[in-house]
A and B are shown apart, each in its own frame.
Chain A
Amino acid sequence: MRLSVDVGGTFVDFVKFDDSTGEITIEKVPSSGKLADQFMDGVGRLNLELKDVETIVHGSTLVINTIVQERGAKVGLITTHGFRDVLELGRGNRPEIYNLFYKQPTPLVPRYLRYEVAERLDAQGEVLTQLDEAQARQAVRDLAAQGVDAIAICFLHAYANPAHEQQMKKIVQEEFPDGLVCISSDIVREFREFERTSTTVINAYTQPQVDKYLTELEARLTAENYSGSFNIMQSSGGITSAQNAKIAPVRMIQSGPAGGVIGAVELGEAIGLYQAEGIKNLVSADVGGTTFDVALIVDGQALEKSSEKINRRPILQPSIDIVSIGAGGGSIAWIDPEGGLRIGPHSAQADPGPICFGLGGTEPTVTDAQVVLGYLDPEYYLGKRMKLDKQAAANAIEEQIAQPLGLTLIEAANGIIHLTNMNMALAMRQMTIERGYDPREFSFVCFGGGGGLFVSALLEELEMKEAIVPLNPAIFSAWGLLNADYREDFNRTTVFDLVGMTGNDLSAAFDKLQDSEQSQITNNQPLATSLQRFADCRYAGQEHTVTVPVLDEDLTADDLSRLKQRFDTAHEHAYAHALPDHPAEVVNLRLRALGVTTKPQLKKMAQTTTTATNAQKGSRTVYFDSGPAECAVYDRAKLAAGNSFDGPAIVEEWTSTILIRPGQMVSVDEFGNLRIVQEL
């Protein structure tokens, strides 16, 4: 038996999977109150004995919330002499070009808690100045006296040689045994001192809270006789033990949304997409109340990035390349001072929520427009757990949108939906194109509580091949957590020319990296399964790099021409040109240790002789932009494998409503996925 727990903005979702039967059980608990209590509350509702559970996987938004809400620990920072202001100065750029008042974010460590000690390495890691131990001890004592919870340490070029940082760590442990200490070389071994300092500081800033939370959960699980593994989803889409997560919480930034992407990767595998001819790529979109998280899956692998920014603060860690677009059911419709209709970026959030929820919302949202147009049944929201106030929604749209624009209520509501769909589609198209792809080369997996109401319009706007809506789309992220492999990433900035290097040289460089991390790899038992190697390469003189896989054959080759060719090809894809005759460099080596887990095998639905009509529970009028249409309403629980029907139609299930537009066709596959296609 396995269990997953996924914390979202509105709900905590739980999935129990029974390996012996392939049965899935789901639960939802509102995400308000104390996190550890909700966790245990939901587990309690699943009707199980924890001693029967082998593994628990947890996706958490604790780290990202701590950063966004700036509720982290009091951190002290120790840097190389002359560089304590690096954290505050950053890179100096101004992304908001018309904003005359633009300022960088306030540093998470104020200047008076930033200390310098004499020490210096060069870019090769050679010691130029020894660490001044007396000064170092004094700095730690001063910071301890200031009442910091944790001390972050980032020395110049420590990625090349961690000796001084390790020495410093020992000093902190001796002088300040009650404090947490975090050195950059334990977290990230890449150059760029501002980004590395920022990453290390964020780790220290979030560590005390994560430590407390996970330690409490471990204790409470143990108290209920749990003895299985307790794992945490990381930004990379791989899981790690709670023990590791406590040391490097900065790897948990995307812990929440990563589960859905991994779920989509496995869904593609399960339905045979990567073996199929033609379209093999997937866009995954997780549509919540306020944002809409998009990721691309190419040839069965989620696209990754090696750095990201949270609240403008950089973090150097491998992460699934998830782009959050600020649009969803909660997005507020408003009229700008020029008289134009706008949607978002403000959202009604969970509190007060859309007007139709009757919880005090006064500004019309996308969900309100959906109720007015008949997308949602006011009597059947969340499987009748909630009634929607359609009249209040209609009144607000009438007064606040329709009348000022001189439109009818239905025109205004349709306008809100149309504009939202277009904004989502444009943002998705842009993120796809920026990564060198065309959305028409993708199939589309859409999930999350709100996904069903946008999926068919996005399929149409972006002219994608097919849309797939999995069963229980609202808890799909939680299901995805159960599909993740163990994973640890180890990186080194090691700059050398590709030309003139042999496979042996490259192999030796990777061996050196592996040797220094061997204890990490072997201590994490499930990681034995496979090692993957990558190199960040660039053309000499350029700043940007492209990550290229290193194959076993490269490590024994006489020269690295094959690797160079692979880099040329990857560069060609990413930047539409290659410079095959131009010298290239390796900048970073990346080693990925994987522990492949057994994926949960979904139960296939029995083929049936019944038709979709069997699942039809009624019909209602939906107002599309082309006019009103009577839509059959299907009960998803009764739809069977092999059923098919045409749009316009509505499919309802407990946690989600799915709208099919006119001109689209739906079939139900053997796993119960809705497969939506359209004629182009």
Chain B
Amino acid sequence: MDKLKYKQLKPMIDPITTQVIRNALVAAAKEMQATLVKTAHNPLIYEVQDFGIAMTNAQGELIAEGSGLPGFLACIPPSIQAGIAKIGLENFNDGDVYLTNEPYDTGTHISDTLVYTPVFFDGQVVAFSAIMAHWADMGGAVSSGWCTWSTTIHQEGLIFSHLKLYDAGTLNRPLYDLILKNVRYPDIVEGDLHAKIAACHTGTRRVQALCKRYGANSINDAMQTVFDQAEKRMRREIEAMPDGTYTAETYMDYDGVVHGELRKISVTVNISGDEMHIDWTGTCEATVGPINHPLVGTEALCITMLKSLTMPDDPMNHGHYRPLTVTAPPNTMVSAEYPAPCDSYGYVAEMIVHLISRALAPVLPERCPACSYQMAAFQFYQTDPHKGDVFTYGEPLDGGGGAFHTDDGATGIMFLGNGDAPNVPVEVVETRYPVRVTRYAINVGSEGVGKFRGGMGIIRDYEVLTNNVLIQTSNENTQYPPWGLNGGSESGASKFVFWPGTDKEETYVTERVSDYGPFHIGDKLSFQTTGGGGWGDPKERDPKMIEDDLQNGLITLKQAQELYGYSK
């Protein structure tokens, strides 16, 4: 049959086959994602996309990524490489499913557990499919995995180091039972586990189908070609950057445990020819509280940022990694080692990304935006049934993005590390929870000024409709706020105002609160996030843009005159 002949045809012409295989692998990763989102039980996966999906070759080198949180994606290959080193490629079996989540291997925190499976073809491991996603619970000291006060990894939950959940297709029942016994929401964890395994198998089938059609060697050859192409392009991008050493530093407010102590984070980017080296010497040692970030995760964020700066639209692969090296002294806040606590790593993760942009801004002014607002979030809860309605409601708050070389920053956008997560509509909040939103507005004046101004933060005002409500807040980088670039100014700090306009009014900025309150019926709160930094000299701002802002009530005439030198 002709059809059959066509299917088994040898690679027709190399550049074409290469491209077909490359696209097919990216599509395979997207199919994995569709399977995961369709089948997961945890809203963090199917509504907030708190996951990363990737396929690697037998060496653990990235061959295709699905979407999700950018930092996660780049953590997967090193985790698999660690697994290969530990287990040995020859010891994998067809039908194995592995779990691993030791942050010093996987890069973030315990909740982001990696599930991976070897892909076999003709008796050989040809690839791995893998999913890293936030688990509903890991059995740590606090529910759902974002402990703000842990001082050792052992408070944060169950740790797996490349354990086999399935051995050649057979469930490892004791491990399975152990997991489900130790997590708070076993039904969700179980459902999600199956979703992740199903998604890995989807990827496996697509890769096997490609191997059958083109041959495993062709897949490998094609990917080596694609790696080389990506590497070449990345080297060309780096080569176009001026050689030199560029540095930036800032300070974190608070580690969640020890008060009143700033934590330095410092980066040095060295560009030499077509290679880049990023070093974190100067960063403070691992903190007592859980804001630490393991080096694997720091490397992942460095490559993510390098790719965002140079070729944001291309699907990422191993070739992009090759011209970059990342180093840090042992056991700093960005290279945490056992047993440093890592559960609320996100503050530092967000800053790592922005700090690279800050270091490179002087030589790449057209690639690097000014700093955006940093992580800000809140949670309302009333967990005691004896005291009233039991509920938990929280969300990350949007804020202002940094300005850049062609435009003002984004107003009311999610911080980078939280990717595609949407806010909760006011009408949904009021349908579900005993709170009322009394204002959702642009936080006018929260931005840094410049030729292009920062995006503005938001104001979200609440009134509490039940008694005994407590609150927890997240906020960072208030003492060293989001910076401007190229003559643009810094913005300010996000604020949490409790009981505004009353005798009891309290404003929290640097200090994060937990179990704060109680708030009772009629009590009001105001959450005000900051904007992004400005870009360029404000005196160079296009008068048309100033007039637009004036017309739209985003600045006053006095500000226009004083800050921007507007004269009309």
Residues of A within 8 A of B (CB): 82-86, 88-104, 110-112, 122-123, 156-157, 159, 191-195, 337-342, 405-407, 411, 414-415, 418-419, 422-423, 426-427, 429-430, 433-434, 436, 460, 495, 541-544, 574-577, 579, 625-626, 662-663, 678-680
Contact = CB atoms under 8 A, between A and B. Distances in A.
Contact of A97 (B69, B309, B367, B422): B69
Interface in B205-227: 226
A309 B431 CA distance: 24
Contact of A426 (B16, B27, B404, B551): B27
Given A94-B413, A100-B312, A544-B47, A340 B20 contact: no
B16 A91 contact: no
A411 B13 contact: yes
A117 B198 CA distance: 51
A411 B12 contact: yes
B553 A91 contact: no
Interface stretch (B164-172, B228-236, B271-279): B228-236
A122 B435 CA distance: 11
A406 B14 CA distance: 10
B178 interface: no
B369 A88 contact: no
B145 interface: no
A418 to B, nearest CB: 6
Contact of A191 (B27, B368, B425, B439): B425
B19 A97 contact: no
Contact of B229 (A82, A159, A339): A339
Q: Which of A159, A191, A338 has most chain B Cβ within 10 Å?
A: A338
28 contacts: A82-B441, A88-B411, A88-B412, A92-B412, A93-B414, A97-B68, A99-B312, A100-B369, A100-B416, A101-B404, A101-B406, A103-B401, A104-B412, A111-B442, A156-B427, A340-B15, A415-B12, A415-B16, A418-B16, A426-B23, A426-B27, A430-B27, A433-B35, A575-B46, A576-B38, A576-B198, A625-B6, A626-B9
B420 A192 contact: no
B31 interface: yes
Given A97-B67, A339-B229, A340-B15, A89 B412 contact: yes
A678 B236 CA distance: 47
A574 B39 CA distance: 8
A83 B427 contact: no
Interface string B281-314: 0000000000000000000000010011100110
Contact of B195 (A97, A195, A434, A576): A576
B13 A415 contact: yes
Nearest to B71: A97
A656 B356 CA distance: 55
Interface in B29-68: 30-31, 34-35, 38-39, 41, 43, 46-47, 67-68
A85 B2 contact: no
B23 A626 contact: no
Contact of A103 (B47, B357, B407, B439): B407
Given A88-B442, A92-B422, 5 more contacts: A82-B461, A83-B439, A338-B230, A407-B16, A430-B31
A419 B440 contact: no
Contact of A576 (B39, B187, B357): B39
B70 interface: yes
Nearest to A574: B38
B18 to A, nearest CB: 7
B430 A157 contact: yes
B440 A82 contact: yes
B213 to A, nearest CB: 11
B307 A663 contact: no
Contacts of A433: 31, 34-35
A89 B411 contact: yes
Contact of A111 (B35, B427, B461, B553): B553
B22 A103 contact: no
A326 B122 CA distance: 37
Nearest to B37: A434
Nearest to A342: B19
Given A92-B414, A98-B308, A577-B41, A123 B67 contact: no
A191 B47 contact: no
B89 interface: no
A365 B225 CA distance: 25
Interface of A is mostly: loop
Contacts of B13: 405, 407, 411, 414-415
B500 interface: no
Nearest to A540: B432
A93 B24 contact: no
A427 B27 CA distance: 8
A156 to B, nearest CB: 6
B39 A97 contact: no
B6 A418 contact: no
B410 interface: yes
Contact of A123 (B369, B422, B430): B430
A430 B24 CA distance: 11
Contacts of B191: 577
A102 B455 CA distance: 11
A111 to B, nearest CB: 4
A340 B440 contact: no
A16 to B, nearest CB: 41
Given A93-B414, A340-B18, A341-B19, A100 B31 contact: no
A111 B552 contact: yes
Given A103-B407, A191-B425, A542-B43, A85 B1 contact: no
A341 B18 CA distance: 9
A372 to B, nearest CB: 15
B3 interface: yes
B359 to A, nearest CB: 14
A100 B403 CA distance: 10
Contact of B5 (A426, A543, A626, A680): A626
B458 interface: yes
A198 B38 CA distance: 27
B398 interface: yes
A3 to B, nearest CB: 41
B23 A100 contact: no
Contacts of B423: 91-93
Interface in B451-479: 455, 458, 461
A434 B6 CA distance: 28
B426 interface: yes
B441 to A, nearest CB: 5
B308 A100 contact: yes
B23 A86 contact: no
B427 A419 contact: no
B57 to A, nearest CB: 18
A83 B16 contact: no
Given A91-B422, A93-B421, A100-B369, A625 B9 contact: yes
Contacts of A156: 426-427
A102 B441 CA distance: 20
Contacts of A90: 412
Contacts of B70: 97-98
A600 B269 CA distance: 71
Given A89-B458, A542-B43, A625 B12 contact: yes
Contacts of B27: 426-427, 429-430
Given A112-B553, A415-B15, A662-B3, A97 B426 contact: no
A192 B427 contact: yes
Nearest to A543: B47
B38 A575 contact: yes
A495 B398 CA distance: 27
B76 to A, nearest CB: 15
Interface in B78-100: none
B39 A575 contact: yes
A426 B24 contact: yes
Contacts of B230: 338
B137 to A, nearest CB: 15
A110 B554 CA distance: 11
